[in-house]
Structure 1
Amino acid sequence: MSERVLVLNIGSSSVKYELLEVASGRREARGLVERVGGPEGTLTHSPGGYRRDAPYPGHRAALEAMRRAFAEAGPDLATAGVTAVGHRIVHGGSRFTGPALVDDAVLAQIEELTPLAPLHNPAGVTGIRVAGEMFPGVPQVAVFDTAFHHTLPPHARTYAVPRRWETELGVRRYGFHGTSFAYVTRRAAELLGRDPSDLNLIVLHLGNGASAAAVRGGASVDTSMGMTPLEGLVMGTRSGDLDPAVPFYVSRATGQAPEEVDRALSRESGLLGLSGDGDMREVWRRSDAGDAAATLALEVYRHRLRKYVGAYYAVLGRVDAVVFTAGVGEHDSRTRAAALAGLERLGIAVDPARNRDTTEGAISPEHAEVTVLVVPTDEEYEIALQTLATARPR
C-alpha cells in the first residue's frame, strides 16, 4: 500500500507544501503561498499551472487557499489517502532531539519555545492546528530544524557567557538547516560508496540562508548558526558573524530600538547590505559589470566560507569530503570554486570542467585527497521520511 505524506514547510511569510508518495519519492503535488500577511499574495500549485493572486492575511488563510488549490487542480486531499502530515518546525530548543508525534503536550512545548524563534514557531503551531482540523485523526509529526545538531558536544554548543544564561534562558548554540544536513549527509555517503559512520564531512548549505556543519560519523559536531539563524556565514540578508558590541553601538549612536537593529541585521545586511541585492546571481551580474560594491560583497562572502572550511578541517582532523548544497551551493560553480581556492595544501581542489558540468557528484580532480561534492538537497523528502518513520514505527 502506498503511503502519502503531506509536508508543510511554513515560514514567517510563506507556506510551502508537497504531497509525496514516500516509497517512490514521487511528488504528486507541490505549491507555494508567498507574501502571507501582506497586501498582495500569490499561490502557485502544480500540477496544472494553478495560480491565484490574492491577499492572504495570515497562515490560516494561506492553508485554506492550499486546500482549495488541491480541490480545484488536484489531487483532491479528501481522497488522496494522506497517511500523515509532516511539519518543519524551526526551533526545538534542547527539548526535541528528533521528530515528535504531535499531541497537546508537544504542541504546548513548541509554543513555549516561541522566544527562540518568534517569527517561525508560531507559524508552525498554526500549521499544526489547521492541519488537525483538515485531517482529523491523521497523525501529525513535528520535524525540527535544530534536531540534527543535538549531537554537538558541550564545548561546541556552549557560549562563554554567564552559566545562568544557558540554564535559565536557553542561551547556547542550536544550529539549523538540520533536515537538509541529514539528507545531504546520507546522500553524500551513497555517492562515495561509504557508510556515513565512516565519513568526516564539511557540509555547506548555501542558499539565501546559509550555514556550515562539521559532520563526524554522521553526527554534527559543530555548525555555524547559533542560538538563532543569524550567526555564521554571510547570507542573502543576514550579517552572519559580528562583533556582539556592534548592535549596542548602533543603537546608542542612532537612537534605534534594539528591535530595529535586530531587523537590520536579519533583513537588511549580508549581500543585500553590502551590494544592494540579496540574490547571488544579481550580485555576480553587478560585479561582472564593474560594480565595486558587488565585488567586495563576493569577496567577503567567500572569505567567510573559506575561513569556516579551514576551521572545520581543524575540528575534524581528517576530512573525506566537502559538500555543497542548496540553491547557491548546487547551482553557482563560480562561488564553489572561489570558496575553495587556495586550499590545495589541505588536499582540497576543484576541477574546472567537473565543476562547470556536474549537477550531482564529484567536482574535485580524480584521486583527490579530499572529494568535493555537489549534492542537491531534498528537505521535503527528508521530512516525509522522518514523519512516516515516527507516525508508523516499524
Structure 2
Amino acid sequence: MVKTSSISKPVHNLSPKKLDSSRIFEKVVEVANFYGFRPYIEIMERPKSVSDEQAIFAPVEKVRQVDTSRKQGSIIETYLKNETINHEDPKLVYFYTEPRERNKEKLEEEHGRFNLEIFGLQRSIGEATILRTCLSILEEMGHIEPTISINSMGDKESMLRFSREYLAYYKRPSLDMHATCRENLKKNPSKMFSCRNERCVALREEAPQTISCLSETSRIHFKEVLEFLEAMHASYEIDSTLVRDTDRFCETIFEIHRSARNKEDGEETLPAQILAHGGRYNYFARKIGSKKDIPIVGASIALSAPAHTAKSLIHKRKPKIYFIQLGHEATRKSFPVLEILRKVRMPLLQSHGTNQLIGQLSIAEKLAIPYTMIMGQREAVDGTVIIRNTSTRKQDTVPLAMLATYLQNLA
C-alpha cells in the first residue's frame, strides 16, 4: 500500500524530453483527439445545424481557451442547458485552463491545465478511457512509466457507511490530533483528507478505509477499472489514503505520479510529483441545479506549455478505421490495440455508447469510413482482430502481433 498522496510535491519540471513548448500542446491534443475527445466548444457550443457526424469531419478547429474564472460547474451547466446535445450518447470533451497566476516575464515557465471530461458514461470504460488517454499524453511529454495511485470512494451507500466509521474513529478523545484538523472535524471533515501534518498522516494510516466500505455495485465497478489497468500493463497501486471531498467525488479517484526511476547520466532520483489527477463525480451536477445525477468522469493534466499555444490551429484527420468491441472482455483488451493504432498514426473512430454490432456497422457505413476493425469475445481470447473493408465487405483475421504491419500496408 503506497502513501504517496501524503508526500507528493507540486509539479515543476513537467517535460523530461525538453520538448519545444510550441509542440507540447499539439501532441497533447493529438492524443486526446485519437481517443475520441473533442474541443469543448465543438461539442457544447456548436450551432444546431452541425450534427455529431458533421463535427467529426470538420477540417480545422480552434481549441477553446477556457478562462480560469470559469469553474467546472459552468462546463456542466452548458452541457445541461444545451438542447442540441443528445444526453443519451456519451460526450468526450477537452478544454484548456490558463495558469492561475500570470507572470508576463516568465510565461514559458507557467503551467496551465489540460482537462478531459466524459459526460454520460456510467460504466468503468469511462475511467479506463480517461486513464489511458492521460498515460499516453504523459508518454508523449517524455514521462517514463508514470505510476497511478488509485482508490474508490464508492457510491452514496458506500460513502454514508464510510462517513459514519470515519467520524466515529476521529471522535475518540484519546486521539492526538492536529489543532486545525480538530476544528475541521466539527466544520468540514473532508479537509482532513489532505492534511500533511505528521500526526494526522499517521492517524489516517490507521483510519477506516473507503475501499472496505464499498457496496457490491461499487466493488464490481472498481474491480473492472483495475482489470482495465491490468490489460493496459499500467503501473498502479491502490492507495487507501487517497480520499477526496465527498461533496464532489464518488467511485474512482486517482493521481498519476512521475516515476521515481533514476535519470540518465547518474543524476539523482526524481522526487514524486503529481502529473495528473482526476476521478468520477456523478452527483456533482445536482449541486449546481440539475434535477438528476449525471455520470461524469474527468482528469486534469499539468501542462508545461505557454498559454498562447492553446490558440493553435489543430488539424483533424478523417477516421480510416471504425473500431468495434463486443463484450466486456473485448472492451477490456481494446486499449493495447488502440495504442498500436495510435503509434502507427492510424486515425479511428469508436462508439462508447453501444455494444451492438449492427448499430456500429451502420454508423461506419453511414460515415463512409473505409475499414471496420472488430474484436469480439473470440478475438479477445485468440489475440486477434477482424479487419473488414466497408465497401467490398472483404475481411481478414489479423493477429495482434502483426497488426502494426498490416495497418501500415493500409495507409
Which structure's relative contact order is higher, taking Cα pairs within 8 Å and 6+ residues apart?
2
TM-score, normalising length: structure 1: 0.24
TM-score, normalising length: structure 2: 0.23
Based on CA coordinates, which of the two structures has the bigger radius of gyration? Answer: 2
